[in-house]
Amino acid sequence: MTSRHFGWWLAALAVVGCGGGDSTVQPIVPSTIAQSAGMDQTGVVGSALADSLTVRVTDSQGNPAPNVTVTWSVLSGDGTVSPGSSITDANGVASALFTLGPAEGPQQAQAAVAGLTGSPVVFTATAVMTGPPGPPGTVLSVVAGGNNVPHRFSSDLWVHGNYAYTGTWGFRDELGNVLNVWSLGAAGAPTLVDTVTVPDIGTLSDDQVTDDGSLLVLSGESGSDGGIYVYGLSDPAHPSFLGMASVGARGVHTVSLSTINGHLYAFAAMNPGFSGNATEDKPALMIYDLSNPSSPTLVHREPIEPNYGIHDTYVRDGLAFVFAWDEGVIIYDVGNGMKGGSPSAPAKISQLVTATDGAISPSVHNGWWFHNPVTGEKKYLFIGQEGLGVIGSQSSGDIHVVDVSDLAHPTEVAFFHLNGAGTHNFWVDEARQVLYAAYYNAGVIALDISGTLSGNLSSRLLSQVKPGGSKNTYTWGVQLANGSLYAIDMLSGLWQLKTE
């Protein structure tokens, strides 16, 4: 997600009459009603939609018309809309809450003002059942945190023990070159305890703590000295810089850690270069040995074709899943043994380009290889597709499910689509067979991934929440830790969520 847009408008109408010193203001005459928000949502049968249905009433010049009564009613699906009527505010806006009826499928409600152009405004929503029998019921709700990073856009997060570490992105009021450190209280609520500035970058886009809690590794880009940065956590509240591996201005977008044959490695996604040398400028998977944290050692550089390039890497059981945008997912043996690969000599196993699903490209962004403890299978790879978006308001892209039971011949078998929003990073509760996904302007969703997965998974949506509300949510990532689900939101900061 690379674009942002802020739109502000101000309109005023004053007509001053001449003669005898009199002045009059002409009344605003309502002319048009139009949809403002809440169209094309998906929700669970019998539950209220996440966003209110909203309309805007204006006069013939496009100025807002306040104090207009809008009548709301249900057209199909046996749901309810509340209130039955509402009055437009100073911005000409009126809203109502749509609770879906008991049946799956499309359901409609309408807003009407007699005599206005555009009336009635018809809203269509899709009602889905909760997931099939499998994981226990999941209801997402906000517990604590939020509205705690006002001056920067937040990026990724990592939670270890009683501390959380979150990055920052681009430029808001201030540059995204700091790591925020949070103490998690007895009940899990986050409190900011330190900020660490990383020099000569403009985005701190990813971070991860080693399993033993001794090291924190960050990725930096959008500056003159991007790369990976290693910090010691002898005092977890105050990370201390140990060393870095620089790739210069091209930067590193993400970094993933994995221990293979007793050695700690960082798998870094290096961005395309700008030298003009086509070979040298290719994006690449950079693999570093972190045996000496103060001096990361590059052991392999794996070029990726520059169809945007490498975005993220997921490493598990000696396999590296490289998510390479329009090149799809590329699977390497980096220590698994099936093709004799290692971190210093990865061996390619296979490659798959997932479906575009109506987007302009596959935009293969991230993933998770699901090890199902209930069935013992390691069958499914979940892949996030990051389509076009606008910070704070728009996003696109689906979750794709790939059968990797034969790693040499992966096959796409299912997908999940959420109207009006797109997925970003996600986390899987493997024991409960639930996938939690950050969905940018749609907040956080919980998806049932138990059993056999095929086709459209929209009926498996378990729950959804917008941590910052409709106007202050653009969620980047999530992580399960200490019995809570933590969500990092670009706009509203770090949240603690409840999952039951």
- Side by side, the strands of the sheet bearing 297-303 are 252-260, 263-270, 284-289, 297-303
pLDDT at 39: 85
Closest to 320 measured CA to CA, from 267, 390, 250 = 267
Q: How many C-beta atoms lie closer than 10 Å to residue 302's C-beta?
A: 21
The one-letter amino acid code at 209 reads: V
Instruction: Say if pTM beats, i.e. exceeds, 0.85.
Output: no
Q: With residue 287 as reference, give the H or E element that holds it.
A: strand 284-289
Record the tokens describing residue 413, joined without a space: 């078998």
Count of alpha carbons within 13 angstroms of residue 78, beta-carbon side: 7
- How much is the pLDDT for 48? 82
Give which of 197, 159, 205 is closest to 178, Cα–Cα.
Answer: 197
Distance CA 398, CA 385 (A): 5
Separation CA 156–CA 179 (nearest Å):
10
Q: Determine the pLDDT at residue 21.
A: 43
For residue 333, give both structure tokens: 């043996």
Of residues 445, 363, 368, 438, the one with CA closest to residue 402: 368
Q: SS3 helix, strand, coil % of the chain, rounded to 5?
A: 0, 50, 50
| CA 82 to mean position of chain CA atoms | 30
Q: Which residues, 6+ apart, have CB-to-CB distance to 18 below 8 Å?
A: none
- pLDDT at 136 (0 to 100): 65
- Residues 163-193 as b/e (b if ≥16 CB within 10 A, e otherwise) read bbbbbbbbebeebbbbbbbbebeeebbbeee
3-state secondary structure 146-175: CCCCCCCEEEEEEEECCEEEEEEECECCCE
- The CA-based dihedral angle spanning residues 315, 316, 319, 324, taken in that order and rounded to the nearest 10 degrees: -30
3-state class of 208 per DSSP?
strand
The one-digit pLDDT tens for each residue of the chain (500 residues) are: 443 332 322 233 333 333 344 445 578 899 999 998 888 888 888 888 877 899 999 999 999 999 999 999 999 999 999 999 999 998 899 999 899 998 889 999 999 999 999 999 999 998 887 544 456 678 999 999 999 999 999 999 999 999 999 999 999 999 999 999 999 999 999 999 999 999 999 999 999 999 999 999 999 999 999 999 999 999 999 999 999 999 999 999 999 999 999 999 999 999 999 889 999 999 999 999 999 999 999 999 999 999 889 999 999 999 999 999 999 999 999 999 999 999 999 999 999 999 998 888 999 999 999 999 988 999 999 999 999 999 999 999 999 999 999 999 999 999 999 999 999 999 999 999 999 999 999 999 999 999 999 999 998 999 999 999 988 999 999 999 999 999 999 999 999 999 98
- CB 188 within 8 Å of CB 482: yes
Distance separating alpha carbons of residues 401 and 155, to the nearest angstrom: 25
Amino acid at 104: E
CB 112 within 8 A of CB 120: yes
Pairing state of beta strands 190-197 and 203-209? unpaired
Round to whole Å and give the CA distance between 378 and 372.
6
Q: What's 279's DSSP letter?
A: T
Is-contact 27 445, C-beta < 8 A? no
Q: For 213, which DSSP code?
A: S
In the chain, what is the straight-line distance between the N-terminal and C-terminal CA atoms, in Å?
Answer: 31
Cα 19 from chain centroid?
61
Contact 5, 393 (CB under 8 A): yes
Match 């939020």 to its residue by tokens.
146
| H helices present in 264-303, as ranges | none
3-state SS, residue 458:
helix
| Edge-to-edge strands, sheet with 329-333 | 312-316, 319-323, 329-333, 347-352
